[in-house]
């Protein structure tokens, strides 16, 4: 099989929540594979810093700062990208957040915040992009789920609900958009070393639990998500749709 199947030359990829962490690692991977990546988030300064780093590595990147929880801002932002950069070939719905707390005491405002960021944004951005992909009869959509798309843990019930919904939305979108030659898949990251996970990393008990629970015996590095993203964004996955690809060091494969 030719490695050309994994090349993304000439493709335009929008990656939400890509100013840092998992989103930035995925954007860097797609750019290295040849895509022109469009970095999205709300912090224009952080996005510009990321864009400069990608450009310094010899790859193509642009910035599109807008709030993915605001449907009007999403529609305007996607229209601007298509008008100024070009047609979006690849969408990675990565924007997400976390709130922890006992379910019986969980604030309603935190529930709505989680759903807006983790779930509603996937609806808004995918709708804006897919309606433009469909007439072109091509496209790749990659949603970022979680090991919590399949598992439950105390203190993060709302997060689990949002990521479970993303997994099932992925299947529904695959069923509906397949006729337009649009493949829709998801990645389920396990526990990765990111800026947002510093408190968990510093918790020796929790960190050791992760290392003992995952067969590979360690936390993941964000760069290890790039391969899955490239695969699901490339011709190599043209007959893969509706799939949740776990990148978790084997955590969900064992009891």
pTM: 0.97
Which residues are catalytically annotated?
A: 159
* Beta carbons within 10 angstroms of residue 123's beta carbon: 17
Give the model's pLDDT for residue 151: 96
Q: Which domain holds residue 24?
A: 3-247
Mean pLDDT of 162-177: 98
Q: What is the pLDDT of residue 1?
A: 57
Task: Kindly state whether residue 103 falls inside one of the protein's structural domains.
Answer: yes
For residue range 175-232, list pLDDT tens digits in order. 999 999 999 999 999 999 998 888 899 999 999 999 999 999 999 999 999 999 999 9
Phi, psi of 193 (to 5 degrees): -75, 110
How many structural domains comprise the chain?
A: 1
Position 175 scores a pLDDT of 98
Which residues are registered as beta bridge partners of 13?
37, 90
**pLDDT tens digits, one per residue of 83-101:** 999 999 999 999 999 999 9
Residue 2 binned pLDDT confidence (cut-offs 50, 70, 90): confident
User: Strands 12-15, 36-41: parallel, antiparallel or unpaired by DSSP?
Assistant: parallel
Is 254 within the bounds of a domain? Answer: no
**Residue 221 placed within a domain:** yes
**Residue pLDDT, tens place only, 4-33:** 999 999 999 999 999 999 999 999 999 999
Asked whether residue 255 is assigned to any structural domain, the reply reads no
- Kindly tell me the burial class for residue 229, based on how many C-beta atoms sit within 10 Å of its own C-beta (0-12, 13-18, 19 or more): buried
| Residue 214 pLDDT | 97
38 in any annotated domain:
yes
Query: 16: domain CATH number?
Result: 3.40.50.720
- Report if residue 253 sits inside a domain: no
Report residue 115 as tokens. 């759903």
Interval 28-72: pLDDT, tens: 999 999 999 999 999 999 999 999 999 999 999 999 999 999 999
Check residue 122 and give its pLDDT.
Answer: 98
The pLDDT assigned to 16 comes to 98
pLDDT tens readout for residues 116-155: 999 999 999 999 999 999 999 999 999 999 999 999 999 9
Residue 114 lies in a domain: yes
């Amino acid at each position: 099989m030719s490695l050309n199947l994994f090349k993304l030359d000439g493709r335009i990829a929008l990656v939400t929540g890509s100013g840092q962490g998992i989103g930035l690692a995925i954007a860097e991977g797609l750019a290295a594979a040849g895509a022109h990546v469009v970095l999205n988030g709300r912090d224009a300064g952080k996005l510009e810093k990321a864009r400069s780093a990608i450009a310094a590595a010899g790859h193509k990147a642009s910035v599109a700062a807008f709030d993915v929880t605001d449907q009007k801002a999403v529609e305007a932002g996607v229209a601007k990208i298509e008008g100024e950069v070009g047609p979006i070939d690849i969408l990675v719905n990565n924007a997400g957040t976390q709130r922890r707390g006992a379910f019986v005491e969980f604030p309603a405002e935190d529930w709505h915040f989680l759903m807006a960021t983790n779930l509603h944004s996937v609806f808004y951005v995918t709708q804006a992009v897919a309606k433009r992909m469909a007439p072109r009869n091509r496209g790749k959509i990659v949603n970022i789920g979680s090991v919590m798309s399949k598992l439950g843990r105390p203190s993060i019930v709302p997060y689990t609900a949002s990521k479970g919904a993303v997994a099932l939305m992925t299947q529904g979108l695959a069923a509906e958009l397949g006729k337009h030659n649009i493949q829709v898949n998801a990645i389920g990251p396990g526990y990765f070393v990111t800026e947002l996970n510093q408190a968990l990393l510093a918790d020796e008990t929790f960190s050791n639990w992760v290392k003992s629970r995952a067969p590979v015996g360690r936390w993941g590095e964000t760069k290890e998500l790039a391969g899955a993203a490239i695969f699901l964004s490339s011709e190599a996955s043209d007959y893969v749709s509706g799939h949740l690809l776990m990148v978790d060091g084997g955590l969900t494969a064992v009891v």
